[in-house]
């Protein structure tokens, strides 16, 4: 059996293989609620054979929504839709995971295909949608200047993060990821470019990491001991935050009960990777944290070939492999990878409705 298809136990949760569909915004929620598109999108990936499917960055506060189409868990009213979503992902064969996020100063914009610029028009006039950040420093490119949170305000956001995690638990998700990457709110606290606070949440490394650490401490109290907790970091944010910073932070996060670091990059400085993007452009981050912080890691970023995924695991560079855009291209990527790597029963990855027919066809010489 390949490493890619060997199961992994994370606390009390078993993933049937090491393939993860990472969070990918669909911006298709209906006022924060799960929509038909959310269900269809989850189903097409979860039925393709991954071990774990992550629901896209779901916002812990209304004001932290990136667009009008972001999913929400800032209120109990979202729990029934999220319960249905988690059950459906499980029914399709994958473990249901969810990423929780807050866009901070990068909130309130048009969807990428609508231009991605700061939101204008009727939705933008909602007075409750004031964007916030650690400091009143705008993202640039026409974004609004965020309101700097006061210390009590920081604690409110942390409490909202914990409350949203508790709703994810009630909805039946089995893996939780805190979005600390890509220049969003947690990353904005970590970076000394965006965080110029003078209270205990700004200044030194310890102070800038306090926001994330207090979220983790609070979440770990309500998130069951037998369920894993991931954090996505921009291991290098291409501004001042470095790999060494991420190693130091990850050691601390491991002590606080984080199980896996999902290793991404960019967002405060330029976006992730160079141009043209190289295959596996973020794998060195997963390797560095796994080696030097002694924590499990997930590699992500242009991993499209099953043999490459296998080689990353063989080399000990990561524990999990996330396949995002290539799974958009081929939602059955895990199944096809199992065929390519010569797994004994690749058809078992598929739901009955498909397994039966494709396995029978293969017996008659067609894959
Ligand atoms: C459509 C789309 C939406 C995304 N949404 C999120 C998100 O909600 N949260 C997040 O952390 N990353 C998000 N990402 C980044 C992906 O999770 C992943 O890190 C990135 O696409 C690189 O992996 P890939 O080359 O396998 O696609 C998104 C990427 C895409 C293409």
- CATH number, residue 203: 3.20.20.70
| Domain assignment of residue 139, yes or no | yes
56 C-beta closer than 6 A to ligand 1:
yes
Q: Which two tokens stand for residue 243?
A: 């790999």
267 C-beta closer than 6 A to ligand 1:
no
| Domain assignment of residue 148, yes or no | yes
The string over 65-93, giving b where at least 16 C-beta atoms fall within 10 Å of a residue's C-beta and e elsewhere, is bbbbbbbbbbeeebbebbbebbebbbebb
Give residue 62's pLDDT.
96
Is the CB of residue 57 less than 8 Å from the CB of residue 100? yes
Give residue 127's pLDDT.
79
Ligand 1 centroid distance, CA of 180 (Å): 13
Ligand 1 centroid distance, CA of 263 (Å): 12
Q: Which two tokens stand for residue 209?
A: 């990491």
Q: Which atom of ligand 1 is nearest to the CA of 277?
A: 25
Q: Give me the helix-helix angle, 151-171 and 205-222, nearest 10°.
A: 30
Atom 5 of ligand 1: nearest residue by CA position:
24
Closest CA to 175 of 284, 348, 21: 21
List Cβ neighbours of 198 (8 Å cut-off, separation of 6 or more).
Answer: none
Cα 321 from Cα 20, distance rounded (Å):
6
Give residue 309's pLDDT.
98
Give residue 79's pLDDT.
98
Q: How many domains does the chain have?
A: 1
Give residue 142's pLDDT.
81
| Domain assignment of residue 359, yes or no | yes
Give residue 141's pLDDT.
79
201 is catalytic: no
Cα 360 from Cα 5, distance rounded (Å):
22
pTM, two decimal places: 0.98
Residue 148 pairs in a beta bridge with 133
24 C-beta closer than 6 A to ligand 1:
yes
Domain range for 337 is 8-363
Give residue 294's pLDDT.
96
Give residue 144's pLDDT.
87
Ligand 1 centroid distance, CA of 365 (Å): 37
Quick check: helix, strand or coil at residue 51? coil
Ligand 1 centroid distance, CA of 283 (Å): 15
| Domain assignment of residue 299, yes or no | yes
Tokens 């003078």 sit on residue:
198
Cα 233 from Cα 100, distance rounded (Å):
13
Give residue 178's pLDDT.
99
29 C-beta closer than 6 A to ligand 1:
no
| Domain assignment of residue 166, yes or no | yes
Give residue 305's pLDDT.
98
Mean pLDDT by runs of 10 across the 367 residues of the chain is 97 98 98 98 98 98 96 98 98 98 96 92 82 94 91 98 98 99 98 98 98 98 98 95 98 98 92 84 98 98 98 98 98 98 96 94 88
Atom 4 of ligand 1: nearest residue by CA position:
24
| Domain assignment of residue 147, yes or no | yes
| Domain assignment of residue 295, yes or no | yes
Catalytically annotated residue among 27, 143, 184, 281: 184
| Domain assignment of residue 257, yes or no | yes
């Amino acid at each position: 059996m390949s490493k890619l298809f060997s199961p992994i136990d994370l606390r009390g949760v078993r993933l049937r293989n090491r393939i993860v569909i990472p969070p990918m915004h669909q911006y298709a929620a209906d006022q924060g609620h799960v929509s038909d598109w959310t269900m269809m999108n989850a189903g097409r990936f979860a039925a393709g054979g991954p071990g774990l499917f992550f629901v896209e960055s779901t916002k812990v506060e209304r004001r932290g929504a990136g667009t009008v189409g972001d999913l929400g868990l800032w209120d109990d009213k979202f729990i029934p839709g999220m319960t249905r979503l988690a059950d459906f992902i499980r029914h399709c064969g994958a473990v249901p995971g969810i990423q929780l996020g807050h866009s901070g100063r990068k909130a309130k914009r048009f969807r990428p295909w609508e231009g991605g610029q700061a939101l204008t028009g009727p939705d933008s006039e909602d007075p409750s949608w004031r964007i916030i950040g650690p400091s009143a420093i705008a993202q640039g490119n026409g974004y609004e200047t965020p309101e700097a949170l006061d210390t009590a305000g920081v604690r409110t956001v942390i409490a909202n993060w914990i409350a949203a995690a508790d709703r994810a638990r009630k909805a039946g998700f089995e893996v939780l990821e805190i979005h600390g990457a890509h220049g969003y709110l947690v990353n904005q606290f970590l970076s000394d470019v965006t965080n110029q606070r003078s209270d205990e949440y700004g200044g030194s490394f310890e102070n800038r990491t306090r926001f994330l650490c207090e979220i983790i401490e609070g979440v770990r109290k309500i998130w069951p001991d037998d369920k894993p907790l991931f954090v996505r970091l921009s291991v290098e944010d291409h501004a001042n935050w470095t790999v060494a910073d991420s190693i130091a932070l990850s050691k601390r996060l491991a002590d606080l009960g984080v199980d896996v670091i999902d290793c991404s990059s960019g967002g405060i400085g330029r976006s992730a990777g160079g141009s043209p993007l190289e295959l596996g452009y973020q794998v060195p981050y997963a390797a560095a944290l796994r080696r030097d912080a002694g924590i499990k890691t997930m590699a992500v970023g242009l991993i499209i070939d099953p043999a490459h995924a296998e080689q990353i695991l063989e080399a000990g560079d990561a524990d999990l492999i996330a396949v995002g855009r290539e799974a958009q291209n081929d939602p059955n990527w895990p199944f096809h990878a199992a065929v390519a790597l010569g797994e004994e029963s690749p058809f078992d990855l598929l739901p009955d409705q498909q397994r039966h027919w494709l396995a029978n066809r293969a017996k008659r010489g067609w894959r």
